[in-house]
Amino acid sequence: MAAPTELMCGDPVRSVILPEAPGVRVHEVLTRTMLESVTSDRHHRHSFAASTVQRSGEVLQVKMNAAAVLRREVRRRSWRRETVALGVAEDPYQSVEEHYRLMPQVLSVLSESQTPIALYTSSTLLLRDLPLLRLIGRAVPVTVSVALATLDAGLSARLDPGAASPQARLAMVERLAAAGLAPHIRIAPLPPLLADGVAQLDALLAALSGAGASRVSVAPLHLDGDDGAAFLGWLGDEHPALIRRYRALYGRRSFVSAEYAMTLRARMAPLVERYGLGSEPSAEAAPPPIRQAGADESVGERLGEAALTLF
């Protein structure tokens, strides 16, 4: 059964069920565009993003012609070879990539056009393309960011059910570092009161430093949409004593208070310095801009909402 037209990000080709993605209906589509301007979005530090997949609930759309469309776009005279971020909305290395193998083509197109790449993932499938990334890194800047919020395997699975285990991601960081790709670690989404204690953060940064991470940033958990509601439901079942404290931290917002953000910054700073994970910020590492607060929001609230890229 085809997805409703309004859910499609391109022209539908066919719908399939893949053994690599049980419980998910995959729609193969032909996309019209790949490059998306994200300049006005304060959550992104790049000007452009691209994705090979797009999710709508239990429906995953796969852009079958991603590489061909991207090649056409980066060949335009107006293209200025600005960094293209892959994985800011959907992890490009989720299970369907094992079947379709779109990423090697996309990475090659960006490399051929001398376009810098910023890659975000929490999947060890990335290692399949490590030889290619290492080769591309000799020609254009390549930044690889791995999300890892906690060493607790159970909590990690709750935060990101589709991600590799913490130990598997640490092993991936080691291989990225050995390949000379200077991996950046996003401690995200960090759940307040569950994984943000000094001892927990110290153990995490020690493990990351030992694995060869180059630098870290941290972003507290957002409680928006169905995922936020599901997390609060789980929290009520497993840690009911924390519900009132979460209400105090978040209020009616989906993001933490500015006071918590500043407390976390103070907690992280000495640890980052101790383990040498606060390397000189580059354009990729710069925090996202914070827009002008409106009449119904304070600057403090907007600071709490921003992705807290500390270092």
Q: Using one digit for the tens of pLDDT, what is the confidence trace for 48-89?
A: 999 999 988 789 999 999 999 999 999 999 999 999 999 988
The mean pLDDT value for 267-289 works out to: 68
Q: Over 70: is that where the pLDDT of 228 sits?
A: yes
The mean pLDDT value for 176-205 works out to: 97
pLDDT value for 303: 37
Contacts of 163 (CB under 8 A, 6+ apart): 91, 122, 123, 147, 156, 157, 169
pLDDT value for 212: 97
The mean pLDDT value for 282-299 works out to: 34
pLDDT value for 309: 53
Q: Over 80: is that where the pLDDT of 210 sits?
A: yes
pLDDT value for 279: 58
Q: If you average pLDDT over every residue of the chain, what do you get?
A: 86
Counting every residue, how long is the chain? Answer: 311
Long-range contacts of 6-11 (CB under 8 A, 24+ apart): 7/56, 7/59, 7/61, 8/61, 9/54, 9/61, 9/63, 10/61, 10/63
Q: What is the DSSP letter of 281?
A: P
Q: Using one digit for the tens of pLDDT, what is the confidence trace for 112-132?
A: 999 999 999 999 999 999 999
Q: Over 50: is that where the pLDDT of 227 sits?
A: yes
Asked if residues 51 and 96 have their Cβ atoms less than 8 Å apart, the reply is: no
The mean pLDDT value for 261-287 works out to: 77
pLDDT value for 42: 54
pLDDT value for 40: 58
Q: Over 70: is that where the pLDDT of 268 sits?
A: yes
Q: Over 80: is that where the pLDDT of 100 sits?
A: yes
Confidence (pTM)? 0.85
Identity of residue 299: V
Question: What CA–CA distance (Å, rounded) separates 164 from 232?
Answer: 23
pLDDT value for 299: 35
For residues 73 and 11, the model is more confident at 73
For residues 9 and 272, the model is more confident at 272
Q: Over 50: is that where the pLDDT of 219 sits?
A: yes
Q: Over 90: is that where the pLDDT of 225 sits?
A: no
- Which H/E stretch holds residue 287? none
Question: What CA–CA distance (Å, rounded) separates 223 from 79?
Answer: 36
**What is the percent of the chain with per-residue pLDDT over 70, rounded to a whole number?**
84
Question: What CA–CA distance (Å, rounded) separates 131 from 175?
Answer: 11
Lowest mean per-residue pLDDT among 13-17, 37-41, 219-223, 265-269: 37-41
Q: Over 50: is that where the pLDDT of 307 sits?
A: no
